[in-house]
């Protein structure tokens, strides 16, 4: 009896544990996992790419112009391929539809719009241009002139005239004649004496107004130099 109760308790505990685990798993999947799961960074570009053109539609008559036309469209696809286009905003450059006129001769199949082939302009052949002969100008070599050696001008030394020495003026000293008084003795007649020839002294450079007096003085001295006083 006791053993059965123990087994039931174990079974209850295991059942409760299983239920608790299931509950925790559900809570994680519905409440926690969406916030914990990594966000997708595969965002689309802002510029998409056009897909292939669809088939042309039925011909309809445009009322204002009374012309049968047909139309086809194309789809703008997100780029890169496989990106999360549901949460991206993108656009494709250019028109998404084309309109063309229908061919009235055919009844079943609409015609595709006729695109004229590109017309390339005919190649223009330029005439050959003859270049004028280029004549090189004669090259004149420069004449090399040896440098001229200019000797510096020789300036003669200044000639200084010799200093002019003024003429020396010789002053003649006139001898003074002193008369001596002889004692009273009988006069004796001395022999006649011949005075020696007198050579006139060199002319002295005196002023012209003084020369006559000088000659007179010399002449007087010559006359009275050898005369003795007589009584």
d(CA 229, CA 231): 7
36 vs 67: which has the higher pLDDT: 67
φ and ψ of 106, to 5 deg? -100, 150
Model confidence at 138: pLDDT above 80: no
Model confidence at 55: pLDDT above 90: yes
Q: Please say whether the beta carbons of 141 and 130 come within 8 A.
A: no
pLDDT reported for residue 127: 56
Q: Which of 71-75, 142-146, 166-170, 210-214 has the highest mean pLDDT?
A: 71-75
pLDDT reported for residue 197: 61
Percent of the chain clearing pLDDT 70 (strictly above): 39
pLDDT bucket at 70, cuts 50 / 70 / 90: very high
188 vs 31: which has the higher pLDDT: 31
The answer to whether the predicted template modeling score (pTM) of the entire model surpasses 0.75 is no
Question: What are the extents of the domains in the chain?
Answer: 1-34, 49-101
Model confidence at 200: pLDDT above 60: no
Model confidence at 175: pLDDT above 70: no
pLDDT reported for residue 199: 62
DSSP string computed for the chain? -HHHHHHHHHHHHHHHHHHHHHHHHHHIIIIIHHHHSPPP--BPPSB-EE---------EEETTTTEEEEEEE--EE-SSTT-BGGG---B-SS-SEEEEEPPTT-SSSPPPPPPPPPPPPPPPPPPPPPPPP-PPPPPPPPP-PPPP--PPPPPPPP-PPPPPPPPPPPPPPPPPP------S-----PPP-PPPPPPPPPPP---TTTHHHHHHHHHHHHHHSSPPP--
Model confidence at 30: pLDDT above 70: yes
pLDDT bucket at 111, cuts 50 / 70 / 90: very low
d(CA 225, CA 198): 12
160 vs 9: which has the higher pLDDT: 9
């Amino acid at each position: 009896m006791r053993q059965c109760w123990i087994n039931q308790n174990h079974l209850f505990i295991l059942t409760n544990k299983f239920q608790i685990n299931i509950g925790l798993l559900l809570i994680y999947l519905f409440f926690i996992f969406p916030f914990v799961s990594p966000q997708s960074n595969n965002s689309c570009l802002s510029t998409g790419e056009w897909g292939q053109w669809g088939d042309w539609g039925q011909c309809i008559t445009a009322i204002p112009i009374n012309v049968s036309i047909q139309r086809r469209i194309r789809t703008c696809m997100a780029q890169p391929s496989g990106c999360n286009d549901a949460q991206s905003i993108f656009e494709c450059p250019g028109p998404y539809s084309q309109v063309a006129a229908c061919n009235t001769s055919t009844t079943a199949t609409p015609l595709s719009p006729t695109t004229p082939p590109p017309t390339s302009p005919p190649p223009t052949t330029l005439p050959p241009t003859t270049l004028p002969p280029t004549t090189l100008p004669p090259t004149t070599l420069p004449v090399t002139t040896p440098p001229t050696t200019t000797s510096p001008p020789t300036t003669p030394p200044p000639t200084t005239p010799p200093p002019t020495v003024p003429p020396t003026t010789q002053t003649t000293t006139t001898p003074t004649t002193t008369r001596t008084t002889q004692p009273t003795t009988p006069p004796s007649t001395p022999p006649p004496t011949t005075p020696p020839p007198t050579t006139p002294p060199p002319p002295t450079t005196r002023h012209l107004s003084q020369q006559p007096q000088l000659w007179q003085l010399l002449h007087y001295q010559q006359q009275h130099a050898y005369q003795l006083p007589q009584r």
